A and B are shown apart, each in its own frame.
Chain A
């Protein structure tokens, strides 16, 4: 089970990243929850400087960019392997 958080005030990049996450999860049958964090205070509390931020299981995976699908899948798989 992955806890995915997408952080960003709601500009195009953040929305795109969220969609991409849902896509990868659906395609690979990964069990995960996606939470969208748009509040500036909460973004700050998570220590994100650049949006969109991506946090998987309380670890900052990337910030300020949208990864390609293969990379994102790779990150999810790694996180799953680590969680086990």
Chain B
């Protein structure tokens, strides 16, 4: 008891301090972000004294400007989402989704999939816990499809490198796939393809106390999220931008156009087929996306490839095999592949 009160005292004291730090950080952030172009210009042209006409200068400029820009965006958004996520937990989400049958359940599940925090090794325990807690199969799938696919890192990178329209379209179509795939799985009545023991097992009714978090705790958790995610993905971002900078003016633009461009109708399905067995997290795929796009591949084809890599993977299927029968896994892959292909064609049509 003594221990606890000491901890609480420390936390109480630092709240105002934390707020000051956060405000200072935000001010610093805004000042840097607003003046990034100016700073880059003076560094490249004045300090380094490079010739603006040269390809190499343009590549260097692009790199020096984009790396801090994307890292700044990443830090702010991950911090914000980190704080939002402290208000959600799988336990609470399960309660919200229990017994929800219809389309509305799938929509809610997909949205909750975006904000509920869990790591990838928790996917199966979550699946089992949801089913056991009375969440319908289709609704559970909507949740599990949306969670990895709509990822803040992917969104920030798309926003930073290709603009907000692309990021928004990616998010919307990702949600649509999760909602529709879950709805179809629910309608097909595939419960028989879930391993028998799943529906027979009853969870022990063990009490778990809800954590009470102070605002200060939530901010601390936001900072932890920034540390964790930024330290994991910064290298992919630097590589991605390096690829982008290297391509800036060097590689012939239409290198990929003949086989991943808009005119090749088969490019979308083959990109999906190629992406299914591959696995990478959202950050790791971005350098590849950069390279493909810059060499003339069309946006729809590349996004379809990206979604297939992130949303479906061989190792994931092997783990799923422990709780789902093989027919269910094939149906799942089939529905996802069709959905992603449609999205690919849609993007190619729109851009």
User: Which residues of A come within 8 Å of B, CB atoms?
Assistant: 8-9, 11, 13-14, 40-41, 43-51, 53, 55, 58-60, 63-64, 74, 77
- CB proximity of A51 to chain B, nearest CB, Å: 5
Give me 10 other A-B pairs in contact (C-beta within 8 A), A51-B125, A58-B206 excluded: A8-B121, A41-B197, A41-B201, A44-B125, A45-B202, A47-B205, A49-B125, A50-B122, A51-B122, A74-B4
Known: A40-B128, A40-B323, A44-B128. A49 touches B91 (CB 8 A): yes
Q: How large is the interface on B (under 10, 10 to 19, 20 to 34, 35 or more residues)?
A: 20 to 34
User: Which residues of B come within 8 Å of A, CB atoms?
Assistant: 3-4, 89-91, 94, 117-119, 121-122, 124-126, 128-129, 132, 197-198, 201-208, 322-323
User: Which B residues touch A63, using CB under 8 A?
Assistant: 208
> Per DSSP, are chain A's interface residues mostly helix, strand or loop, or mixed?
mixed
Known: A64-B90, A64-B118. A47 touches B206 (CB 8 A): yes
| Cβ-Cβ contact count across A and B, 8 Å cutoff | 76
Q: Provide 9 A-B residue pairs closer than 8 Å at the C-beta atoms, listed in order of the A residue.
A: A9-B121, A14-B121, A47-B129, A47-B204, A48-B129, A49-B129, A50-B125, A50-B126, A51-B119
| A46→B323 CA distance, assembly (Å) | 17
Known: A13-B119, A44-B132, A64-B90. A49 touches B126 (CB 8 A): yes
Question: Which of A46, A50, A51, A64 contacts B204 (CB under 8 A)?
Answer: A46
Q: Does the CB pair A60–B208 fall under 8 Å?
A: yes
- CB proximity of B107 to chain A, nearest CB, Å: 22
Known: A49-B94, A58-B206, A60-B206. A44 touches B121 (CB 8 A): no
Known: A60-B208, A74-B3. A40 touches B124 (CB 8 A): yes
Most buried by A among B3, B91, B121, B122: B122
| A63→B211 CA distance, assembly (Å) | 11
For B130, give the chain A residue with the smallest CB separation.
A49
Q: Does the CB pair A43–B206 fall under 8 Å?
A: no
